[in-house]
A and B are shown apart, each in its own frame.
Chain A
Amino acid sequence: MKTIYYLILVPMVYLAFLVFIVGTIAKLAKIFGSPKNPSSTLQIYPQKNPPWFWALMDSFLMPSVRRHKPLHWVFLMSFHIALLLLIIGHLELFKGFNVFQFIPHEIFLGKGFVGLVLSLALLFFLFRRFASPVRDLSIPEDYYLLILLFLTVLFGAQMDWARRWYGYGELSVSDYQTYLTSLLFFKPELPAAVYQSGHSFMLVLHVFFANLFIMIFPFSKIMHSFLTIPMNKLRRG
């Protein structure tokens, strides 16, 4: 079991990041290396200036979703904001950054609610795909990704909830920091708490599902993270 834990927590993490980085660069190079559209514009009128500003508004605030699917928009916005906080939270698990402490908080950020919001949003996204007409539009990729993300978030959030809400103290922030920093400097070190405590299996499952997710990332629709802004720029002119 220790070997499996090690394989997931160390080599698989490196493999996942390698696939993610190489895959994303290759994919973006292929897309942006393709010839430009021969038409002079693909925009929608009337134009609002400056187009880049409105393209950013479209990408980050999704006004069309707010107008046509308000409930979906609430979950989408909550999801993406929570995702941003979660990325910051993980950066802080490497080391504390003063810049993120402009609102003083304990690491991990959000008192457990970031994970809760993400979990609920993912459940909403999943369940809305069980009803027509979204069901008829959905393909296996949509379900796989949502389930994978849900499992990743659930096991990740559970570790946070355990510390925050249930007073579980065996796996501490400093254990995570030791583990993650060692990975960053290519000197992998697994503190005993990381693979021997009662909640180690949660960490291992969290990392396992996260590894899968980031390996799939460049080959999936999640590439919209990189492509939505240039696409909205095309639409805005």
Chain B
Amino acid sequence: MDEKTRDDLLKLFQSKLNQAMRFYLETCSRCGTCTEACHVYASMGQTRYISAYRHELVRRIYKKYFKGQGTAFPAWGESRELTEMALQDLSEAAYSCTGCRRCMVYCPHGIDTQMLMSIAKLLLVGAGTEPEILSMLADTSIEKGKSLEFFKESFLTGIKNLEAQVVEKWQVEAGQTPIPMDAEGADLLYVALAGAHSIIPAAAIFNAARENWTLSFFEAVNFGAFVGDPTRTKLILERIINEARRLKVKEVCICECGTAFRVMKQQSGKQPFKVSSITEVHARYLREGRIRVDKNKFKEIITYHDPCQMARNGGVIDEPRYILSQLTGNFKDMTDDVRYNWCCGGGGGLVALGEETLDFRMKSSGVKVDQVKATGAKILTTACENCHTQLSDLNDHYQMGVEVKFLSSLVADALIP
């Protein structure tokens, strides 16, 4: 690696050194309490997947360039030069970490491995060695924000084609648009994913609740966050913020996508609208009696997988359980302490990397499979696209014999007048 590249990368490293990051970099006592926290280590048993091992890879570079010991006594903390090899190690650490933050629950100091891995991811972006697919997807999202007019017509046509399926689930009143678009003054802006499954059930439920809503032109997922690029994360986020402000909505409702929800909720700053997940909105409709569901629709045992970015990292814990209490008398929770629920193994961009990570995702998620099996459930529901894809892959691979369903789909299927 030439000096100029290294200097540029170190500037990127420096840009991440906020107060919290310095706490995390200065404190680890390598006590090993986090050893069993990571689902990858718990499933595969390799030391390199222990959280403390992962973040020590970042810390060694920090010690080399940002602490006196890196020059005075490099052997003290095993300081390490930033080289191609070091980047390779960082890549392996960062893209085998799903950012679930389960290890943070274990750590006596509260070190956030996801934050430390974000340094690794940013260095990879700086070196141009980040996963190409994620980078391209992030760029496409940004491009869509810049040239909406170019996409608008085809998007509207696509949405129009879905309307019949929405009406099939819930009949709208005469003159009402099943999927309202670009409706200024709507109360709620729904930000979906690129896919009918993310729009049809949600639209049916909004209509059943007589919500004054409108659908966003943009997809919720933030590939900038997956690839660990704060600039692109912000640009992707701003598309939705600008749209919400333009339409003067009171609430932005994020579809079943954990990362999109957490980024929007925790990084959008002070705005004239509130941010909710669709799970929270559905629970609210049920509590307020705006929608009703048939409790006898599903006979089998249902369990729920908490998406890490929604539950442990986003606080949406009681709402899905309330919804399930209305949907079935046969709900079985996976854990009595949500903080300890296992990650599905698909977060952090791993699912978006598709086949490339499939083998690793399957091997690294054995503990999740065991957790699901222990419930005896036949329906495995969740509220995150990534988790849904990963759990479906696990279901096929391990022949778990469950039906993997979105929570919103269960609600939509059980709607009664």
Contact = CB atoms under 8 A, between A and B. Distances in A.
Contacts of A68: 33, 36-37, 106
Contacts of A64: 33, 105-108
A221 B33 contact: no
Contacts of A219: 67-69
B106 A223 contact: no
B106 A221 contact: no
A35 interface: yes
Contacts of A32: 19
Contacts of B28: 221
A46 to B, nearest CB: 6
Given A46-B317, A133-B50, A223 B27 contact: yes
Contact of A65 (B31, B47, B50, B312): B31
Contact of A136 (B47, B107, B312, B339): B47
Contact of A231 (B67, B105, B111): B111
B343 to A, nearest CB: 14
A58 B37 CA distance: 17
A37 B18 CA distance: 6
A98 to B, nearest CB: 35
Interface string B29-40: 111110111000
Interface string B222-236: 000000001000000
B32 A133 contact: yes
Interface stretch (B72-80, B87-95, B140-148, B289-297): B72-80
B136 interface: no
B282 to A, nearest CB: 19
Interface residues of B, number: 54
A72 B20 contact: no
B31 A227 contact: no
B19 A45 contact: no
A141 B311 CA distance: 36
Interface in B177-224: none
How would you classify the secondary structure of chain B's contact residues: helix, strand, loop or mixed?
A: loop
Nearest to B68: A219
B333 to A, nearest CB: 14
A231 B23 contact: yes
A228 B53 contact: no
Contacts of B109: 224, 227-228, 231-232
Nearest to B20: A37
With a 10 A CB-CB cut-off, give which of A136, A137, A144, A235 has the most chain B CB atoms: A137
A2 interface: no
A137 B50 contact: yes
B200 to A, nearest CB: 30
12 contacts: A31-B23, A37-B18, A38-B230, A40-B269, A46-B317, A46-B338, A58-B110, A72-B33, A134-B32, A139-B56, A223-B26, A232-B110
Interface of B: 17-24, 26-33, 35-37, 47, 50, 52-53, 56, 67-69, 75-78, 101, 104-112, 115, 230, 266-267, 269, 311-315, 317, 338-339
Interface of A: 27, 30-32, 34-42, 44-47, 58-59, 62, 64-65, 68-69, 72, 128, 132-134, 136-142, 144, 219, 221, 223-224, 227-228, 230-232, 234-236
